[in-house]
Amino acid sequence: MTFCVTEEDVLFTHGIDIDSQSTQAMSNEFSEEDIAVHNTPDDLWLAINDKVYDFTDFAPDHPGGAEIIHQYAGKDASDEYNSFHAPSLVQKALDAKYHLGSLKVSKSNKKKQSESNGQAKNKSRSPNERPPLRDIINLHDFENVASTALAKKEWAYISGGANDNLTRDANASFLGRIWLRPAVMRDVKTVNTTTELFGCNLQLPVYISPTGAALTGGEQGELALAKGAAKMGIIQTLATPSSFPHEDVLDVTPERAFFQLYVNKNRKLSEDLLKKVTKTGKIKAVFVTADLPVVSKREADERVKSENAGPGEDWKGSGLARQTGSFIDPSLNWDDIAWLRAQVDVPIVIKGIQRWEDAKLAMQHDVQGIVLSNHGGRAADTAPPAILLLLELHKNCPEVFNKLVVLVDGGFRRGSDVLKAICLGASAVGLGRPFAYSVGYGEDGVEHAFNSKSSSPGVQETLFRPGRY
């Protein structure tokens, strides 16, 4: 079970603070038989990590829809939950009164859990079982390692795109079709790669794009991204569907972060979420995802789910994203910018611009930036490669570059890719999947992806090194 949604896209409501009452409730013990009878929408219990919770009131408002919770009614949902969420998430998401007690595990179930844990270990490799970081010399290597190190489900979730993956693959391939024109005999002894983005100084014109459920890439998830970004002098975009509670990620974020928002059908939940994350003072901009009004068909994700479905289970459309995407508000439109502005006093960025006409509309509304993005090829397949949109803007509405901060993401893997986007007018470039893969090495992996002093300088490997263009 996932209590989450994608793009990246798994979401649990980070809503209500836990208090000391929960520790008192945990003194109660329930057997598997006790839990099994609470298996209806009007009386719904779940066991997660040897703790028992009452989801009856929460299920109807679950941002991923009630169906995914109903599938595990009266059961132990630990295996599915732990694939995408930190243990602390459910404890902080549910009010203390819904923390019922502990699960009394039978001997037979202990054996089953032991076998399950053993199988999980065989599927996923720890950082110590992966090639050493010194052997990782570029961002492609992180992806290659992840393809064999991650469990099948996690790999499908991170790597997969929509339908035939045409847009996902075109994002990268079209970057290779844009040629540089190197100028020579220029003094490049001293090069300054720093930039400013929404008041934040960056060591590179690069930021970490929002990736939901970063735990799928490695057990430190968003915590590793936050710490690594801070050390490298860049910035993380914390996703609505974070594996860890937002407050936990912000606690390890020294000064600044961006926040990605999926607008909930229940606008009050989005309002509360924005209030919670911005009160820390660390959120410097809110990126509103606009390119996923409904969740796309992601076949690699669905295949894994259907292969694991039992004989009597309904597997159709059972991929993680499709199962849990019902909370996203498909009615979101330009008139809602006024509502968003009333919620936050930081810059608003519209993420998911895929044509010049919408970039022009953004200029007419109270937003400060746009992200040219197709959701990493995970939204509408055959949408144009992100880099081509920069060319489209120059042709049809070049004034946008003077009025808005223009960002771009999708397919960037080399420093030369970043350089091309900067030359074409982007203020900075977002990278998502490469860092989702680097999390497999924890915080060290995130640092290694950027560290210009290491033997594998990652994004900096070519950025501005060849000279001026």
Tokens, residue 369: 């930036």
50 is catalytic: no
Contact between 440 and 405 under an 8 Å Cβ cutoff? The reply is no
Contact between 212 and 242 under an 8 Å Cβ cutoff? The reply is yes
What is the Cα–Cα distance from 101 to 98, expressed in whole angstroms?
9
Matching residue, tokens 């995914």:
68
The residues pairing with 369 across neighbouring beta strands, listed in sequence order, are 349, 405
The residues pairing with 48 across neighbouring beta strands, listed in sequence order, are 51
Spot the catalytic one: 81, 98, 207, 262: 262
| 55 Rama class: left (phi>0) / alpha (psi -120 to 50) / beta | alpha
What is the Cα–Cα distance from 355 to 230, expressed in whole angstroms?
33
Q: Under 8 Å CB-to-CB from 208, ≥6 apart: which residues?
A: 225, 229, 234, 235, 236, 237, 430, 431, 432, 435
Burial class (CB in 10 A: 0-12, 13-18, 19+), 440: buried
What is the Cα–Cα distance from 133 to 276, expressed in whole angstroms?
37
Helices (H), 85-151: 87-93, 107-123, 139-149
What is the Cα–Cα distance from 227 to 245, expressed in whole angstroms?
15
The residues pairing with 202 across neighbouring beta strands, listed in sequence order, are 195
Strand ranges for 69-205 from DSSP E: 75-76, 99-104, 195-197, 200-202
Tokens, residue 33: 């038989």
Helix or strand run (H / E) with residue 371: strand 369-372
What is the Cα–Cα distance from 428 to 402, expressed in whole angstroms?
15
CB atoms within 10 A of CB 312: 5
C-alpha dist (Å) from residue 122 to 126, 151, 152 = 10, 9, 11
157 is catalytic: no
What is the Cα–Cα distance from 295 to 323, expressed in whole angstroms?
9
Residue type, 292: L
Spot the catalytic one: 9, 141, 291, 301: 291
Spot the catalytic one: 375, 409, 441, 448: 375
Q: Under 8 Å CB-to-CB from 294, ≥6 apart: which residues?
A: 325, 328, 330
417 is catalytic: no
Residue type, 439: V
| Residues tagged active-site | 262, 291, 375
